[in-house]
Structure 1
């Protein structure tokens, strides 16, 4: 069974290996991380930032592990907005060798449960490159609906791409937010 865990200092070496092993793969699909991320102290700084964001409830980063405990993906909620919105944006990345195994679909399902049940959010947004059929399927399988398209809005390796915008609402959307979110 796949599981999600908040990123922590204990994950440093696994996270370093995951990011370095998959760097070229990720950069072929999404914008590259700053070079400093891969330099000495960069991943440590990233973990510390994730912990600060979680404590401030502005973002929540999780690692996806397979049943053997291997790090196979990352998933996060960013731009958490509480008052008036109770929303955030979802992002994820799965290791190249683990693509096509349903891990992204499971990770999104698990993350939506955290977003809606534990964090009391009511709406999760996500974006996908219009040409990324796999990511679009992952979102649709998890109940996301497309609500827009932005044309030539994302530059990747010198090419301008369209982005599709998706949303998913909590099952109890319309009810009062939980006490944590008020």
Structure 2
């Protein structure tokens, strides 16, 4: 059983360890964070930014914890657009050692409940690298449908990659 928790200052040690332990794993799959993120004060600044964005309803970042309270991942609703759109963009990352355990699928389900429930959003968008079968499966399992593809849209390890675009609407919308 997983739970989602808004990012806060009390999570600093766990979050720093999570990011450092999984840095190489994440950077092999998605664009790297700036090097300054990993320097002294980088994670603290990111937490402060997350809190400001949540207070402004511009984005909502959550830590994913297992039943024992261990940090197993992160999930975000970013680029919240209220006027005219009532939408946001979904992003998530699961620790390397926790991959393949269904955590991403469950965390996406939980964050969609928040997005369509307490946040009152109508549409959630997500992107996945065309070769990322695991993320594509997670999105499809949670009711996302593909609506587009951009070819050679970003570079990862010197190779140009295609990006797939997905959407999910609130129930009844």
Per the normalisation by structure 1, the TM-score is 0.94
**Which residue in the other structure is 1:176 paired with?**
none
Q: Once the 2 structures are TM-superposed, how far is the Cα of residue 47 of structure 1 from its aligned partner?
A: 0.1
Counterparts of 2:110 and 2:157, CA distance in 1: 32
Q: How many residues align structurally? A: 173
Counterparts of 1:172 and 1:76, CA distance in 2: 23
Q: Once the 2 structures are TM-superposed, how far is the Cα of residue 122 of structure 1 from its aligned partner?
A: 0.1
How do 1:134-173 and structure 2 match up within 5 A?
A: 134-173=134-173
Specify every segment of 5 or more residues in structure 2 that has no aligned partner in the other structure, as ranges. none
Specify every segment of 5 or more residues in structure 1 that has no aligned partner in the other structure, as ranges. 174-182
**Which residue in the other structure is 2:91 paired with?**
91
**Which residue in the other structure is 1:82 paired with?**
82
DSSP-derived class of the 1:17 partner:
helix
Q: Once the 2 structures are TM-superposed, how far is the Cα of residue 157 of structure 1 from its aligned partner?
A: 1.3
1:31 aligned onto 2:31: yes
Counterparts of 1:109 and 1:41, CA distance in 2: 32
Q: Once the 2 structures are TM-superposed, how far is the Cα of residue 172 of structure 1 from its aligned partner?
A: 3.0
**Which residue in the other structure is 1:53 paired with?**
53
Counterparts of 1:83 and 1:100, CA distance in 2: 37
Counterparts of 2:172 and 2:154, CA distance in 1: 33
* Segments of 4+ moved more than 3 angstroms: none
Per the normalisation by structure 2, the TM-score is 0.99
Counterparts of 1:155 and 1:127, CA distance in 2: 15
DSSP-derived class of the 1:100 partner:
coil
Counterparts of 2:55 and 2:142, CA distance in 1: 27
RMSD of aligned C-alpha atoms? 0.4
